[in-house]
């Protein structure tokens, strides 16, 4: 009997090609767009990480207050990792950390060097993740305690493309930053975590070093013990930190921790934006479904006489309902099949357009074997949508078809007859529902696009046009002292400034594009302690004199750094406008002092000598938020910094034509052969890429608003 219903439904579909075409295309558009979005969301939010018991992996941030608030959290320090390992044995199986950067690598002595994204990780990093190398072994514990351990682990990509898949790779030697290192392992294919690394080196922690007490540089990850949830871990760490502070009331101790699941930490900043896209897509699907139901209802009303006659001849009401539901499901099946074809075309486009983050969390899903694809969960989603639309939105027309009022139905079929009041009211209600949903979707789309357009057009606070940036490493092996580092940078800067097409050149650490790991802790003289945190936070910049002028960041009060701001001179700093307004709204900040670090009294005071305009870091994860900036001169920070300044960024203001990567490398080689340049980027391009997320959402939400409008128009 069921096969008879299918044959009957197919015959009805063939007899009404116009109705079928409109219904199928409507569903294909709605289901296809939603399936494509789901494939991206499934990969970004739902697909498990490729680690055993990945649900027990967490990211650890050190909290500046006891509540573990994310807004008041930073990366870990050596001291924090050591304390969490020692006192958190009932919470964590183990705690690991890492930091990103770049290294110059030669395949053999004398061969050309290349710059490779690298990560220095604690010896247990891969053990915590539960991911052994595909070849070789992990770092040993003794290699994690020896700062001079000459071993390395490489990525599968580096092994295949740089070392040509050599079979004797294990035990072979490469030159990393001028130092021979033995390759002991090759990581699985597509794994490049953290910081999209192709090379991993052992990191020896030094928790007892007072010079690194304020250095929040470690990407922290831990594996929870069975039965411990992230929320329980946060509570336990809070109690643990309180106990530590009672026995050792040191201001340098951690006060708490923010511990999100590792999977969630990769997309926490994107989640609200993804929900906006899902909402817009769901609105378009709802319009398509209501449109589909309206088409079915109109078709049923047109055939009411036929249904009434069949009922009079003995067809049961159940049979009539079942036949209409089968027809609705068949149309939904065809629409879903076509929608999957649409999704297979849209999904690669969405994945290609979707943004890559700039830090360990933002780009993390690109550090695994991740791609948006039409796999089993996506097909299951499409099947679920098909069933919901076919059965849920086909039920009312099917029930209408089972009406058995033969006299009323035949009167409608008479020449010149019009629809009865109930039919008109029912069809009109579907039109009203479609228009209401379309209006709501369009209003939400306009509101969302205006919000994201504002973010896209927000000024940076410094010039990006015709600014070319690149990074260099100044490793201790070649530049063992602060004086050696400064001389190398000054010589290189002078050489670059003489290049044709260069209007000005400057140096800064970190890069102007970076905001993700450059938050600094500070206290302002005379300001009340911001309890319970005990510190304020701001972005850190370490430039040379002339940086702000070269970058077009206006000097509002006081002076710029100058040649007299040496390591032996009084310590000075320049603050941004927002910090000046926050702490000295009715007074000049010039001459006031700021102390870098915690309230432990160990850090020196820096005297404010200037105020510049606010900047919005290009990689800023805080949408629209302008945090203050504190700049300290490079010459002084090479001596007084606790954070490594090995990675330095040069920024060239060019005429936009004659300066290229090859000419820059040649100029650097003339200045110092041991300075290797990497990560060449136009600030204008970097600024555009940093807002890819907003542009991506802007386009998608606008598109779904337009799709909803078109579908509503089709249903009128």
- pLDDT digits over 271-295, tens only? 777 777 788 788 888 888 888 877 7
Distances (CA, A) of 158 to 183, 189, 358: 12, 10, 21
Q: Which one is predicted more confidently, 314 or 371?
A: 314
Beta carbons within 8 Å of 349's beta carbon, 6+ residues apart: none
Q: What one-character DSSP code corresponds to residue 43?
A: I
Neighbours of 275 (CB within 10 A): 12
- The residue behind tokens 């930053």 is 177
- First and final CA of the chain: distance in angstroms? 36
Max mean pLDDT among 164-178, 236-250, 387-401 falls in 164-178
Q: What is the C-alpha to C-alpha distance for residues 287 and 434, in angstroms, rounded to an integer?
A: 6
Would you call 529 exposed, middle or buried from its count of C-beta atoms within 10 A (0-12, 13-18, 19+)? exposed
Beta carbons within 8 Å of 378's beta carbon, 6+ residues apart: 35, 38, 39, 42, 343
Encoded tokens for 215: 């250095």
Encoded tokens for 660: 């290229």
Q: Are strands 114-121 and 199-202 parallel, antiparallel or unpaired?
A: parallel
Q: Are strands 57-63 and 467-473 parallel, antiparallel or unpaired?
A: unpaired
SS3 of residue 124 by DSSP: coil
Minimum mean pLDDT range among 290-299, 508-517, 658-667: 508-517
**What pLDDT score does 555 carry?**
95
Mean pLDDT of 40-57: 80
**What pLDDT score does 121 carry?**
95
Q: What is the pLDDT of residues 348-374, one digit of tens each?
A: 776 665 554 333 334 444 555 555 567
Q: What is the C-alpha to C-alpha distance for residues 175 and 113, in angstroms, rounded to an integer?
A: 9
Minimum mean pLDDT range among 57-71, 285-299, 429-443, 532-546: 57-71
**What pLDDT score does 460 carry?**
79
Q: Are strands 151-154 and 199-202 parallel, antiparallel or unpaired?
A: antiparallel
Minimum mean pLDDT range among 113-127, 322-336, 615-629, 658-672: 615-629
| 602 Cα distance to chain centroid | 36
Residue 664 Ramachandran class (φ > 0 left, ψ -120 to 50 alpha, else beta): alpha
Encoded tokens for 78: 């050596």
**What pLDDT score does 624 carry?**
45
- Of the candidates 574, 591, 569, the one whose C-alpha atom is nearest the C-alpha of residue 636 is 569
**What pLDDT score does 439 carry?**
78
- Of the candidates 122, 57, 89, 81, the one whose C-alpha atom is nearest the C-alpha of residue 259 is 57
Is the pLDDT at 516 greater than 60? The verdict is no
**What pLDDT score does 251 carry?**
63
Max mean pLDDT among 16-20, 29-33, 53-57, 603-607 falls in 53-57
Max mean pLDDT among 55-59, 194-198, 712-716 falls in 55-59
Neighbours of 402 (CB within 10 A): 20
pLDDT band at 19 (very low <50, low <70, confident <90, very high): confident
Q: What is the C-alpha to C-alpha distance for residues 600 and 249, in angstroms, rounded to an integer?
A: 11
Q: Which one is predicted more confidently, 489 or 439?
A: 489
The answer to whether 635 and 564 are in contact (CB under 8 A) is no
Q: What is the mean pLDDT of the chain?
A: 79
Percent of the chain with pLDDT over 70: 78
**What pLDDT score does 357 carry?**
38
Residue 227 Ramachandran class (φ > 0 left, ψ -120 to 50 alpha, else beta): left
**What pLDDT score does 461 carry?**
81
Tally the residues of the chain. 716
* Helical residues (DSSP H) of 458-519, grouped into ranges: 482-497
Mean pLDDT of 324-351: 82
The answer to whether 531 and 599 are in contact (CB under 8 A) is no
Mean pLDDT of 615-641: 71
Encoded tokens for 199: 């090379």
Is the pLDDT at 600 greater than 70? The verdict is no
Is the pLDDT at 90 greater than 50? The verdict is yes
Q: What is the C-alpha to C-alpha distance for residues 496 and 667, in angstroms, rounded to an integer?
A: 6
Q: Which one is predicted more confidently, 303 or 524?
A: 524
- The residue behind tokens 């597509």 is 190
The answer to whether 365 and 43 are in contact (CB under 8 A) is yes
**What pLDDT score does 657 carry?**
74
- Of the candidates 262, 261, 255, 266, the one whose C-alpha atom is nearest the C-alpha of residue 229 is 261
- Of the candidates 572, 564, 559, 571, the one whose C-alpha atom is nearest the C-alpha of residue 610 is 559
Q: What is the pLDDT of residues 555-582, one digit of tens each?
A: 999 999 999 999 899 999 999 998 898 8
The answer to whether 537 and 519 are in contact (CB under 8 A) is yes
**What pLDDT score does 543 carry?**
94
**What pLDDT score does 363 carry?**
47
Q: Which one is predicted more confidently, 422 or 16?
A: 16
pLDDT band at 76 (very low <50, low <70, confident <90, very high): confident
The answer to whether 488 and 675 are in contact (CB under 8 A) is yes
Is the pLDDT at 47 greater than 60? The verdict is yes
Encoded tokens for 257: 């921790």
Beta carbons within 8 Å of 626's beta carbon, 6+ residues apart: 461, 578, 614, 615, 616
Q: What is the C-alpha to C-alpha distance for residues 299 and 319, in angstroms, rounded to an integer?
A: 18
What is the per-residue burial (b if ≥16 Cβ within 10 Å, else e) of 71-94? Answer: ebbbbbbbbbbbbbbebbeebbbb
Is the pLDDT at 303 greater than 70? The verdict is no
Which helix (H) or strand (E) segment is 239 a member of? Answer: helix 230-247
Is the pLDDT at 241 greater than 70? The verdict is yes
Q: What is the pLDDT of residues 678-701, one digit of tens each?
A: 888 888 888 877 777 677 777 777
The answer to whether 294 and 715 are in contact (CB under 8 A) is yes
Residue 86 Ramachandran class (φ > 0 left, ψ -120 to 50 alpha, else beta): alpha
pLDDT band at 609 (very low <50, low <70, confident <90, very high): very high
Is the pLDDT at 132 greater than 60? The verdict is yes
Angle at 634 between CA 517 and CA 216, to 5 degrees: 25
pLDDT band at 533 (very low <50, low <70, confident <90, very high): very low
pLDDT band at 94 (very low <50, low <70, confident <90, very high): very high
Q: Which one is predicted more confidently, 434 or 386?
A: 386
Q: What one-character DSSP code corresponds to residue 228?
A: -
Encoded tokens for 706: 């337009």
Minimum mean pLDDT range among 107-121, 304-318, 654-668: 304-318
The answer to whether 168 and 200 are in contact (CB under 8 A) is no
Question: Percentage helix, strand, coil, to 5, in the chain?
Answer: 45, 20, 35
Q: What is the pLDDT of residues 194-219, one digit of tens each?
A: 888 999 999 999 887 766 676 788 89
Max mean pLDDT among 127-136, 201-210, 235-244 falls in 127-136
The model carries a pTM of 0.72
Percent of the chain with pLDDT over 90: 24
**What pLDDT score does 385 carry?**
81
pLDDT band at 621 (very low <50, low <70, confident <90, very high): very low
SS3 of residue 386 by DSSP: helix
Is the pLDDT at 480 greater than 70? The verdict is yes
Q: Which one is predicted more confidently, 597 or 476?
A: 476
Is the pLDDT at 622 greater than 90? The verdict is no
Q: What is the C-alpha to C-alpha distance for residues 376 and 380, in angstroms, rounded to an integer?
A: 6
Residue 68 Ramachandran class (φ > 0 left, ψ -120 to 50 alpha, else beta): left
Encoded tokens for 241: 């930190």
């Amino acid at each position: 009997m069921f096969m008879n219903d299918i044959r009957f439904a197919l015959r009805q579909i063939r007899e009404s090609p116009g109705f079928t075409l409109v219904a199928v295309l409507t569903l294909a558009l709605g289901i296809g767009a939603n399936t494509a979005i789901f494939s991206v969301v499934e990969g970004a939010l739902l697909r498990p990480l490729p680690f055993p018991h990945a649900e027990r992996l967490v990211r650890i941030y050190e909290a500046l207050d006891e509540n573990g608030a994310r807004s008041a959290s930073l990366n870990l320090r050596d001291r924090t990792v050591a304390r969490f390992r020692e006192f958190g044995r009932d919470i964590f199986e183990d705690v690991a950390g890492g930091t990103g950067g770049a290294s110059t690598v030669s395949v053999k002595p004398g061969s050309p060097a290349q710059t490779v994204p690298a990560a220095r990780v604690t010896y247990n990093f891969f053990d915590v993740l539960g991911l052994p190398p595909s070849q070789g072994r992990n770092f040993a514990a003794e290699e994690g305690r020896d700062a001079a351990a000459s071993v390395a682990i490489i990525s599968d990509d580096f092994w295949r493309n740089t070392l040509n898949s050599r079979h004797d790779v294990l035990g072979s030697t490469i030159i990393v930053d001028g130092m021979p290192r033995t390759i002991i392992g090759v990581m699985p294919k597509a794994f490049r975590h953290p910081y999209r690394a192709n090379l991993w080196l052992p990191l020896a922690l030094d928790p007892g070093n007072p010079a690194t007490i304020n250095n929040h540089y470690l990407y922290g990850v831990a594996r929870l013990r069975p039965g411990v949830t992230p929320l329980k871990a946060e509570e336990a760490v809070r109690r643990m930190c309180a106990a530590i502070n009672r026995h050792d009331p040191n201001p340098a101790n951690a006060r708490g921790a923010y511990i999100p699941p590792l999977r969630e930490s990769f997309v926490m900043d994107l989640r609200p934006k993804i929900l906006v896209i899902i909402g817009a897509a769901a609105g378009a699907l709802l319009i398509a479904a209501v449109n589909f139901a309206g088409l079915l209802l109109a078709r049923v009303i047109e055939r009411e006489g036929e249904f009434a006659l069949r009922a009079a001849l003995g067809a049961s009401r159940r049979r009539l309902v079942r036949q209409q539901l089968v027809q609705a499901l068949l149309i939904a099946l065809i629409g879903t099949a076509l929608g999957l074809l649409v999704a297979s075309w849209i999904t690669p486009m969405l994945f290609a357009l979707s943004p890559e983050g700039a830090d360990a969390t933002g780009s993390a899903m690109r550090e695994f074997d991740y791609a948006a694809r039409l796999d089993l969960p996506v097909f299951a989603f499409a099947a679920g949508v098909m069933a919901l639309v076919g059965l849920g939105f086909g039920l009312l027309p099917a029930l209408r078809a089972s009406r058995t009022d033969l006299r009323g139905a035949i009167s409608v079929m008479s020449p010149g007859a019009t629809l009865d009041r109930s039919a008109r009211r029912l069809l009109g209600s579907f039109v009203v529902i479609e228009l209401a949903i379309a209006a709501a979707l369009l209003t939400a789309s306009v509101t969302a696009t205006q919000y994201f357009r504002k973010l896209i057009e927000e000024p940076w606070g410094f010039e990006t046009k015709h600014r070319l940036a690149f990074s260099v490493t100044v490793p201790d092996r070649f530049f063992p002292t602060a004086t050696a580092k400064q001389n190398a940078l000054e010589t290189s800067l002078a050489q670059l400034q003489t290049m044709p097409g260069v209007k000005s050149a400057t140096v800064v650490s970190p890069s102007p594009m970076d905001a993700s790991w450059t938050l600094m802790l500070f206290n302002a003289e005379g300001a009340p302690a911001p309890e319970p945190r005990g510190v304020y936070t701001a972005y850190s910049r370490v430039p040379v004199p002339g940086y702000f002028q070269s970058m077009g960041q206006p000097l509002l009060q006081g002076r710029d750094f100058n040649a007299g701001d040496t390591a032996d001179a009084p310590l000075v700093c320049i603050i941004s406008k927002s910090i000046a307004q926050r702490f000295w709204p009715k007074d000049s900040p010039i001459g006031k002092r700021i102390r870098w670090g915690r309230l432990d009294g160990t850090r020196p005071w820096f005297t404010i000598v200037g105020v510049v305009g606010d900047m919005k870091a290009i990689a800023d994860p805080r949408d629209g938020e302008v945090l203050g900036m504190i700049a300290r001169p490079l010459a002084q920070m090479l001596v007084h910094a606790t954070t490594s300044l090995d990675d330095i960024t040069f920024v060239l203001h060019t005429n936009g034509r004659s300066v290229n990567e090859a000419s820059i490398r040649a100029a650097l080689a003339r200045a110092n052969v041991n300075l290797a340049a990497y990560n060449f980027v136009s600030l204008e391009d970097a600024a555009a890429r940093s807002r890819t997320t907003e542009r991506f959402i802007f386009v998608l939400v606008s598109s779904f608003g337009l799709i909803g409008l078109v579908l509503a128009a089709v249903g009128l």
